[in-house]
Amino acid sequence: MRVLVIDTALGLCTAGMFEVQNGSVRPLGLRSEAMTKGHSERLGGLARDAVAEAGGFDALDRIAVTVGPGSFTGLRVGLSFAQGLGAALGLPVIGVSTLDALAASVEATSVAALIDARRGQVYARFWRDGVAAGPPEALSLEQAAAQVTALGAGATLVGTGAPLLAGTAPGLVIDDRPGAAPEALARLAASLDPAAAPPSPLYLRAPDATPPTRLPGQPRAATPA
C-alpha cells in the first residue's frame, strides 16, 4: 500500500510518500521543514517535491493527515490540502490523531504522548503495556503528572510537552520531538479503516480567539448608569 502523509499539526510541515507492506515502511519521497507558522505557503511545494521524488501519484492508495490536537491554523491548512487532493485524485483521506502518531514514533510499551497546550496544560494520551489507557484529554500539569507517575519508571514521554513533566518520576525517557515521525503516520494510516478515521479536526480545547461582540460600525452597547 502506498500512503501520502501530511502533517502540519505542530512544529513541522511534512509531506511524504511511503510504501507500507506487512508493517514495514519504505520511504519513497519525503520533505519536512521545521516551522510553527507559514504552513500554507510551504505545504504545496513540499508535497509536489515529495511526490515527484516518489515517481508521481501512480499506485497511490490513500492520503493521511494529522487531525490534532495541535495548532488551529496548522490543522486547517493540512486538512484542507489533504481533502482537496483526495477529492481531485478520488482517494480516501485518513485522519490520524497527533497523539497516536507521536506514541507510534517511539519504541516503548509505556508511553505518555504530550503536547504543550500552554496555560499550564498539556494535551495527553497514555499507553500502558502498549494499550491506550483512555481517550485524548486536555489536562493540567498536575493531572498529567499523576498519570505519568502511574506509568512507572522507564516510561517514555514524547512530544513538545515531555520536558514539562521530565521531573515527575525517576528513570523517565524524554523525547521532545516537534512532531510525529512520518513513518509512524504512514504505518498507522495503512492500518486504519477509512470509515472509522475521517479527516475531522480533533480539538480538545476551545480556541483562544473569541467572536466579536458587535459588527463593524455597530455602536457599543450603552453602559448602565
Q: Per-residue pLDDT tens for 78-113?
A: 999 999 999 999 999 999 999 999 999 999 999 999
Tell me if 202 sits within 8 A of 67, measured CB to CB.
Answer: yes
For the four alpha carbons of 108, 109, 110 and 111, in that order, the dihedral sign comes to: positive
Whole-model pTM above 0.85? Answer: yes
pLDDT on residue 223: 55
In the CATH scheme, what is the code of domain 2-97+180-196?
A: 3.30.420.40
Please tell us whether the domain made up of 106-175 is placed in CATH 3.30.980.10.
no
Question: Cell numbers of 138, please?
Answer: 486536555
pLDDT on residue 209: 47
**Residue limits of CATH 3.30.420.40 in the chain:** 2-97+180-196, 106-175
Question: Cell numbers of 43, please?
Answer: 505545504
Distance between CA atoms of 9 and 66, rounded to whole angstroms? Answer: 6
CA 32 → CA 8, 14, 16, 181, 217, distances in Å? 10, 4, 8, 10, 44
Distance between CA atoms of 15 and 8, rounded to whole angstroms? Answer: 9
Tell me if 162 sits within 8 A of 145, measured CB to CB.
Answer: no
Distance between CA atoms of 11 and 1, rounded to whole angstroms? Answer: 27
Residuewise pLDDT in 10s, the chain (225 residues):
999 999 999 999 999 999 999 989 999 999 999 998 999 999 999 999 999 999 999 889 999 999 999 999 999 999 999 999 999 999 999 999 999 999 999 999 999 999 999 999 999 999 999 899 999 999 999 999 999 999 988 999 999 999 999 999 899 999 999 999 999 999 999 999 999 999 999 998 765 545 555 566 666 655 555
